[in-house]
Amino acid sequence: MPAATGILIIANVLVFLAQQVFDPVLIETFGLTIDPENPIEQLLSAPWQIVTYSFLHGNGLHIALNLFALWMFGADVERIWGPRRMLAAYFAAVVSGAIAQIVAVSISGEPGGPVIGASGGVFGLLLCFGMLFPQRRIMLLFPPIPMQARTFVIVYAALELFLGVTGTAEGVAHFAHLGGLVGGWLVFRYGASLSANR
């Protein structure tokens, strides 16, 4: 496994283990808390949350799915780009995912609970994977349908947009996922200087 991908996975696992001892304090302090009436003030009061939320997870299934996807997409992206550009894509997606969720909550006026999970970063790497390996076949878990990587990205993005706009699948930060796609695209488009072979 490439080094940066492995470090991200280990860091997420260690934080999840810490959560078993220190929650709910960790989620209250490091999860992304959004005040729909004063989002900027809330963000300025705890700016670290736009990154730290990505290391927290709700349960074992949540972290298992995110880390499986991180390994599946991040490892191949890192092999092509090297660790610097892969990490830039991941954390750009984490931040853009947080910003997108803040905007969405501010518009809807419904705060919900703190946003947690690595999904924003994973979605950024998914987009980069789909751009780098558009013809590669991916097998969906549910249902088990094979499709090309670029098709998978388009279908998943459309599904997230539909679920986010309609408000179905509550408890999932769909706009953080969509925002993550934006961060990944920005590094794909403009981050060539970060690649190991440049």
Start-to-end CA distance of the chain, whole Å, equals 22
Domain holding 84: CATH number? 1.20.1540.10
> Per residue in 124-174, pLDDT tens?
999 999 999 999 998 776 678 888 999 999 998 998 999 888 876 677 889
**Number of helices (H) and strands (E), helices first, in the chain?**
10, 2
| Total-model pTM | 0.93
Structural domain of 48: 3-194
Q: How far is CA 61 from CA 42, 115, 117, 175, in A?
A: 30, 16, 11, 21
Element (H, E) at 148: strand 146-148
Residue 11 backbone phi and psi in degrees, to 5 = -60, -45
- Could you read off the pLDDT of 60-119 as tens digits, one per residue? 999 999 999 999 999 999 999 999 999 999 999 999 999 999 999 988 887 777 999 999
pLDDT at 4 over 90: yes
pLDDT computed for residue 154 by the predictor = 93
- Rounded Cα distance between 127 and 148, Å, is 12
Looking at the structure of the chain, the number of domains it has is 1
